[in-house]
Every structure is written in C-alpha cells, then in structure tokens.
C-alpha cells in the first residue's frame, strides 16, 4: 500500500482493522453429550487467566471487544468473564517458572430442572 499525503513530515496515518469476533461451539466427544465453547478474535485464541476455578456457561455466551487493548468480555447473561489473547509458546511470559495458565475451553453447564 502506498499513501501520499500533502503536509508536514510529522503527519501520521492511523489504520485500524476490525477482527471478526467468534464463539465456536463443539461437542466434546461422540460418547459425551457435553459441549464446549472457544472464543476467537480474528486469528487470536482468547482465554481466561486461570486461578484454579473452571468457568462454565449455562447458556450461549456473547463475546464483546472492550475499549482496552487486548481485552474482551464474554457473558451468558448470569455472569461476565474477562478474556485476553493467549500468548504464543515462544513468548517469554510462557514458562514453567511464570506459571502461565489460561482456560481456553469453557463447558456448557447443565441447569438442573426442578419438578
């Protein structure tokens, strides 16, 4: 791409690309009726900073980009979870010493029906 601008040498051009936000739903296996969700923003896999508690959703979650860089929110109407992109394995932040963990698969929890 070539851009020619008349003006001072301190002029700048800001280009932004909107990435498609995707919620992917998949069955866990042929023998299991459970389903899992994965979240993507363009080519970025999104995950939740893992603190030992597994996050699940009771209904189809919606993914929203926030105004902050590298931040998304996902909500199923009952609770909201913050997501960030998953670092590449060659990133120095991903090491055994740093205890880097993110949950990237989220189960669909079954809601018990009272009779």
Domain ranges of the chain: 21-108
Q: How far is CA 85 from the centre of its chain?
A: 6
Q: Is the pLDDT of residue 1 over 70?
A: no
* Closest of 57, 61, 50 to residue 21, by C-alpha: 61
Q: What does the CA dihedral 97, 45, 74, 78 come to, rounded to 10 degrees?
A: -70
For the stretch 3-46, pLDDT in tens is 666 666 677 777 777 888 999 988 777 666 678 899 999 998 99
∠ CA 101-33-113, rounded to 5°: 100
This prediction's pTM = 0.72
For the stretch 55-101, pLDDT in tens is 888 888 999 999 888 899 999 988 899 999 888 777 777 777 777 78
What pLDDT does residue 18 have? 81
For the stretch 68-81, pLDDT in tens is 888 999 999 888 99
Identify the residue whose tokens are 């900073």: 49
What pLDDT does residue 32 have? 65
């Amino acid at each position: 791409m070539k851009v020619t601008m008349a003006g001072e040498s301190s002029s700048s051009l800001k280009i932004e690309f909107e990435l498609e936000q995707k919620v992917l739903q998949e069955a866990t296996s042929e023998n299991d009726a459970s389903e899992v969700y994965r979240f993507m923003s363009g080519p970025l896999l999104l995950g939740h900073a893992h603190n030992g508690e597994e996050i699940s959703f009771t209904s189809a979650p919606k993914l929203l980009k926030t105004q902050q860089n590298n931040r998304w929110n996902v909500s199923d109407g009952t609770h909201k979870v913050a997501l960030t992109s998953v670092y590449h394995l060659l990133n120095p932040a991903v090491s055994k010493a740093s205890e880097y963990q993110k949950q990237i698969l989220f189960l669909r929890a079954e809601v018990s029906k009272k009779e």
